[in-house]
Amino acid sequence: MSQSTNYSIAMPQAYSAMKCALDLLNQYDATQKMSTGSAELDSLIDGMQEGLFYLFYSTHENQLILDSLLNRLLVGCILPKSGKKHGFESKALLFNNIDYYADKNKHQLLNPEKIATISKYAGIEPKIVSKNLYVQTAYNLEHQATIAQEIAKRIDSNADIKLIAIRDLTKFIVMNNKAGYDTPNRNDDSGTLKKVLSILYQTCAKNKVTMIATGYCNVSSSGIVPRPIGGTYLKHTVNVIVNLRPNLNNGYYYTTSSNTGGGSSASYRATMTKHPYQLTPKSTNIYATRIGKRKDPMLFILD
């Protein structure tokens, strides 16, 4: 084969590769993004993109910041795209996982007062949020798989749903492994959890629905980012993984003046350990205003 022939073959291939790169760039520019409510967190993860799967995790002691973030993202999905609200202007769905008998008296069900408060801070009427928010709850591991199938059918039949938020994704894995998080008997890669993730991830990817989950991790040594509970399947399925831990000042949560006013602000270290196109690990500080009692707040509002 002559050199000119090789050249004539290589040129279309190079052009095709260049075209694919341009297509990807144009596709990225056209991708819808939603704000988390925190400029620092938005900068860290490049906003919440349609069709991606996000995992935010921490220890049990930090459940409130995870719940507050999840509720803010639910409200954010319903916010308008215009007017600097940076929402999806769509419907959202909460997939709640609770131990009914243990959690029913601990305000683990969706709290209308919290949603209303977050809505007001975000600049949207609570009634609008309530009309555009679906909630489904699982009470054990087997029920979780059944609810996942019901949610998948709802997403397939309702193109207006653009975000699903899964609270305590690995809750039942933790409950079913009473031997301890770090023992060899632990079964993080549960077949049921894999089934739940497979059903929801495939459905959300097909419909360009953003998928968000919160989960737990173990307490780690200072300076070491702990791994989320859930095993290798969860780790490989999720697109963006972020660990949240409180910044400590002489053993106390660091507080500062708040941008939103009306309360003290807690500081958390957000460390991103996985992202489809950014270098990791990467960290930033985020701030959240306490609403309610200082030592026992009702919720946090991201600054």
The size of the chain, in residues, is 303
As a whole number of angstroms, the distance between CA 42 and CA 257 comes to 21
- Whether 229 and 218 have beta carbons less than 8 Å apart is answered as yes
Q: Which two tokens stand for residue 171?
A: 């809750």
Structure-token match 């930090």, residue found: 62
- Whether 21 and 2 have beta carbons less than 8 Å apart is answered as no
Binned at pLDDT 50, 70 and 90, residue 179 comes out as very low
Helix 141-157 × helix 191-207 angle, to 10°: 10
Query: If residue 194 lies in a helix (H) or strand (E), which one and from where to where?
Result: helix 191-207
Q: What phi-psi label fits residue 76: left (phi over 0), alpha (psi between -120 and 50 degrees) or beta?
A: alpha
The CA dihedral of 96, 100, 106, 107, to the nearest 10 degrees, is 40
Q: Is pLDDT of 102 > 60?
A: yes
- Whether 32 and 49 have beta carbons less than 8 Å apart is answered as yes
Average pLDDT over residues 169-192: 61
- Whether 283 and 271 have beta carbons less than 8 Å apart is answered as yes
Q: Which two tokens stand for residue 29?
A: 């520019």
- Whether 63 and 297 have beta carbons less than 8 Å apart is answered as no
Residue 254 is predicted with a pLDDT of 57
- Listed in sequence order, the DSSP H helices in 46-140 are 63-78, 100-103, 112-122, 126-131
CA-based nearest residue to 170, from 230, 226, 128, 129: 230
| pTM of the full structure | 0.84
pLDDT digits (tens, 9 = 90+) for 254-277: 555 444 444 578 999 999 999 999
Q: What is the DSSP string of 73-93?
A: HHHHHHS-STTTT----SEEE
Q: Which two tokens stand for residue 42?
A: 């938005």
Q: Is pLDDT of 14 > 70?
A: no
The percentage of residues in the chain with a pLDDT greater than 90, rounded to a whole number, is 60
Please name the fold of domain 34-246: Rossmann fold (3.40.50)
Question: Between residues 75 and 23, which one has the greater pLDDT?
Answer: 75
